[in-house]
Amino acid sequence: MEPVNDTHISEFFLLGISNEPELQPLIFGLFLSMYLITVFGNLLIFLAVSLDSHLHAPMYFFLSNLSFVDICFTSTTIPKMLWNIQKQSKGISYGGCNSQIYFLLLFAGLDDFLLAVMAYDRFVAICHPLHYTVIMNPRLCGLLVLLSWLVSVLNSLVLTLLMLRLSFCRVLEIPHFFCELNQVVRGACCDTSLNDVMVYVESGLLGGVPFIGILYSYSKIISAIRGISSARGKYKAFSTCASHLSVVALFYCTVLAVYLSPADTHSSFSSITSSVMYNVATPMLNPFIYSLRNKDIKGALKRFIGL
């Protein structure tokens, strides 16, 4: 008997991290704590940079944008997960699932582009220090952020609109705590070849181009640092990049662990753990990585909270 092609399915089910009832309070408490730390930490960075005139520089302008994006990125998935645990429900509406996919793609893309823009900023600062203020002028900084938004919006819009053409013959159970694009596409009962091709093409372009830009910037930075004669000068130059390098490594390692794993392991515990790392842990750790190694940020935070 042929399955009924039902394009009016109104709800999907998120199976979450664990089905064990006794673990739900622990998961709820853990993710609520991580979410609050993420929002509070990134909000502090954003407000400190916005309100402290000492931090009105390109590097901190990009950092404040990254903090804002990280708040939005985490808020796309965690509140819904916490709500489902609290209500002992696994449901998410069809529209809610598409919206979640759209904003996940949007803010993940923005994270990617902003990290590349910050690498370019460090490249100019170290390789062309005498021309830094001329090159990294407010107009260019604004254009780089605006371009990052435009490309990310278009990318997420195209992939989400392609989702709307899919039909589902049954209520889809997603073995994740959010609507993961590949999982939803694989649950469709129609031809998904166009979706698959577009995902790989756009992921390759919008993920690979910023990554290549980061690698190129740091190859030039390393060459410039090697040319510095004094050990103190080398350390000072490298220390300005250490925080950014740490965030880049954390972001790309966790993303690659999820999206380059074999298709049959996407629902495994290791894949979910990697998703937690890039969706929750990375945005949570970013404020600590940048503030603990940066005297200007620490000083601004102390002035902001009145210490």
CA distance 95 to 91: 12
pTM for this one? 0.87
Would you say 16 and 84 are in contact if contact means Cβ atoms under 8 Å apart? yes
pLDDT single digits (tens) 108-131: 999 999 999 999 999 998 888 889
- The model's confidence at residue 229, banded by pLDDT at 50, 70 and 90, is confident
Report the pLDDT averaged over residues 281-301: 77
pLDDT single digits (tens) 150-174: 999 999 999 999 888 888 877 778 8
Instruction: Give the residue from 289, 117, 93, 106 showing the smallest Cα distance to 209.
Output: 117
Angle (nearest 5°) at CA 264 between 263 and 266: 70
User: Which residues, in sequence order, are bridge partners of residue 93?
Assistant: 11
CA distance 226 to 223: 5
Highest mean pLDDT among 41-50, 200-209, 291-300: 41-50
Supply 163's token pair. Answer: 């989702």
Report the pLDDT averaged over residues 229-255: 79
CA distance 50 to 47: 5
- Look-up of token digits 């890039």: 278
Say what the pLDDT of residue 3 is. 42
- DSSP one-letter code for 180: -
Instruction: Give the residue from 278, 293, 216 showing the smallest Cα distance to 78.
Output: 278
Report the pLDDT averaged over residues 219-243: 81
pLDDT at 2 over 50: no
88: left (phi over 0), alpha (psi -120 to 50) or beta: left
Amino acid identity of residue 219, one-letter, is S
Helical (H) or strand (E) element with 14: strand 11-14
Q: Report helix, strand or coil for 115.
A: helix
96 burial level (CB within 10 Å; 0-12, 13-18, 19+): middle
Residues 6+ away with beta carbon under 8 Å from 143:
none
Determine the topology of domain 11-305 in CATH: Rhopdopsin 7-helix transmembrane proteins (1.20.1070)
pLDDT at 231 over 70: yes
Instruction: Give the residue from 82, 71, 78 showing the smallest Cα distance to 100.
Output: 78
pLDDT single digits (tens) 200-227: 888 777 878 898 999 999 999 888 888 8
- The model's confidence at residue 261, banded by pLDDT at 50, 70 and 90, is low
- DSSP one-letter code for 264: G
Higher pLDDT, 147 or 301: 147
CA distance 158 to 202: 10
- The model's confidence at residue 260, banded by pLDDT at 50, 70 and 90, is low
Say what the pLDDT of residue 259 is. 60
Longest Cα separation, the chain: 77
Strand order in the sheet with 91-93: 91-93, 11-14, 173-174
Would you say 220 and 123 are in contact if contact means Cβ atoms under 8 Å apart? yes
Q: How many residues does the chain have?
A: 307
Rounded to a whole number of angstroms, the CA Rg of the chain reads 21
Q: How many helices (H) and strands (E) does the chain have?
A: 12, 3
- The model's confidence at residue 306, banded by pLDDT at 50, 70 and 90, is low
